[in-house]
Structure 1
């Protein structure tokens, strides 16, 4: 069972997640794809990863820009699940040539 991460734990782990930032109880990042189809492929890849983890992000897509918001809602904040999903999202973005907007 996941527990809420401390501010110190979040700060340390965010050092390995460029472009990601904490905003209250959410972990946020934006990515810019070279085109709309690539943005959709990124969302599709993230959907598969999220389903595999049974941990689902909020996703907002506007043309070729994709924003992700992660939070462990039943814990009321951020857990290791959010950090793991952020890593998977960043890795997928790299495979598709999608740049972090952070």
Structure 2
């Protein structure tokens, strides 16, 4: 099982992920994509990373706006797995714009 990050580790990891916000025991990022099709394509690409990592974000799609929420539910909060997947999501979103 992944180890929970300390508050200072979360703060440090968030400083390297400026598009992500802390929300309770989760990190959240919302992105506006150019179109609904682009939003769905980005979600699909994130899905492949999530499956490979066996770590699945909560995803909300509203037209061309996508919100990703990460937390390691089995650990009860944030772990390095969340920030690793956040980095991959950032890469997908950077390529989608």
Q: Does the alignment reach a TM-score above 0.5? A: yes
Q: How well do the aligned residues superpose, as a CA RMSD in angstroms?
A: 0.7
Following TM superposition, the consecutive aligned residue runs of length 4 or more in structure 1 with deviations greater than 3 angstroms are none
* Map of 2:12 onto structure 1: 12
Deviates more, 1:14-23 or 1:58-67: 14-23
C-alpha distance in structure 1 between counterparts of 2:31 and 2:55, whole Å: 20
C-alpha distance in structure 1 between counterparts of 2:96 and 2:23, whole Å: 26
Structure 1: 5+ residue stretches without partners: 98-102
* Map of 1:69 onto structure 2: 69
C-alpha distance in structure 2 between counterparts of 1:32 and 1:25, whole Å: 24
1:22 CA displacement: 1.1
* Map of 1:58 onto structure 2: 58
Provide the TM-score with structure 1 as the length reference. 0.92
1:96 CA displacement: 1.0
1:23-72 Cα offsets, whole Å, 9 max, x none, are 11111110100111100010000000000000000000000000011010
C-alpha distance in structure 2 between counterparts of 1:35 and 1:18, whole Å: 23
Give the number of aligned pairs.
97
Matches within 5 A, 1:89-100: 89-97=89-97
